[in-house]
Structure formats: structure tokens, C-alpha cells
Homo-oligomer: A and B are copies of this chain.
Amino acid sequence: MSSSHELDKLIRALQIQPGIGLRSATRIAYHLLERRRPDAMELGQILISAMRNIKLCTCCRNYCDHEICTICQKPERHQARQLCIVESPSDVEAIEQSNNYFGLYFVLHGHLSPIDGVGPNELGLPQLDELLTREPFDEIILATNPTIEGDATASFIAALAQKHAIKNISKIASGVPVGGGIDNVDQKTLASSLTHRRPFGD
């Protein structure tokens, strides 16, 4: 407990951020009070506005400010006739930064998990079904996480894509990280990278 109730409240509230415990929250609160009061007030306003206004794109379910996100607004993205399915908006961000994919996305916001009550409706699969009916895709790329739940979700979506007679259904490769040492990789990843080996020179 500090000398100010408002300060205690602030230190507690800052801890809703992942990775920020009591110590970091205390340091942040003192720093903001001591040196960055106007910036911190602005952060407060931006937080409120972002939480109130950011919604899901009606096309791909990624975060956006209006009805349609900046990616879905671009005609060339539609012309690529590729659709990449990911679990979360941060996956879109990561793939965009890899600068190697120029098609559309569909964001599930999770993976199938019947125990937690997450079924096809919660992942927006009816919306995906509509999208596949509406737009002609040449390829569906399944980029769910390489976990048991992610793989199960990918299989479920692959079946949906087959119903729409989509030519190519692919899954991103899992294996040794580029630039990494083989002896630093866990057994399962190494097993997967051996199973899915490809002809040299491909």
C-alpha cells in the first residue's frame, strides 16, 4: 500500500497487462507520474477509444476500425484467390511481416475446444462458409498453430473447404527454424521435419 489510494488503484489496474507483475506495475506507475503525465492521460484515452471502437472485419474477422479491414479493402488481395486461415489477429500480423503472402485471411479467434464451449459457431465458421461460397479461391492455406487443438481445427476446416470443391488445400510447414541449430530443436519438431522432408533443390 502506497501513500495514495489512486496510486494503489493504478498499480493494480496496470497488472491486467500480460507480463506485468506488481514490481513492474509499480515502476511504471511512478515513472508515468513523475515524467509522463500528459502522455499517460493520452494513453488512457486511447485505451478507452480502442476498446470501444475496434471491431471485427465483416469479411475476415481481423481487427478493424470500420466494416471492412485495410487488407480486405484491397482488390489485389482478392485477385490472389488465396485464403489463409489463422487462429488469432497477431498471426496475421506475423505473416504480413514475413512479406511472403499476398492473399486474404480468415481469423478464427481461437481453436475448436468443446470442453471450453468453443465450437464452429464461436470460430465464425458459418461466416467462413459464406465467404467460400461468395468468392472463388484457388487455395486454402491452413495456418493454425501446430498443436493438437490447432491440427484438429485445421482438419475440420479442410473438410469444409473440400465441400466447396477448392482445388488446393495446404498446411504450413512445421520443422527446424531457419537459421537455428538442429540440436536445439525439440524431438517432435525434428520428427515432423523428417517426416515432411522434401526433394533436395525444391
A contacts, CB < 8 Å to B: 2-7, 9-10, 13-14, 16-20, 24, 26-34, 36-54, 57, 62-65, 69-71, 88-90, 92-93, 109
Q: Are A16 and B39 in contact (CB under 8 A)?
A: yes
Q: Say whether chain A's binding surface is mostly helix, strand, loop, or mixed.
A: helix
Q: Are B65 and A6 in contact (CB under 8 A)?
A: yes
In the complex, what residues of B have CB within 8 A of residue A3's CB?
Answer: 57, 62-64, 69-71, 89, 92
With A33-B50, A46-B9, A46-B10: A16-B4 Cβ-Cβ less than 8 Å:
no
Q: Are B90 and A46 in contact (CB under 8 A)?
A: no
Q: Are B48 and A32 in contact (CB under 8 A)?
A: no
Across the A-B interface, give the 8 residue pairs with the lowest CB-CB distance, nearest first: A44-B47, A44-B48, A3-B69, A44-B44, A10-B50, A13-B43, A13-B46, A37-B51
In the complex, what residues of B have CB within 8 A of residue A52's CB?
Answer: 41
Q: Which of B17, B36, B54 contacts A28 (CB 8 A)?
A: B17
Docked complex Cα distance between A32 and B44 (Å): 13
Additional 5 contacts, C-beta under 8 A, given A41-B52, A43-B47:
A3-B70, A3-B92, A4-B65, A44-B44, A44-B46
In the complex, what residues of B have CB within 8 A of residue A20's CB?
Answer: 28
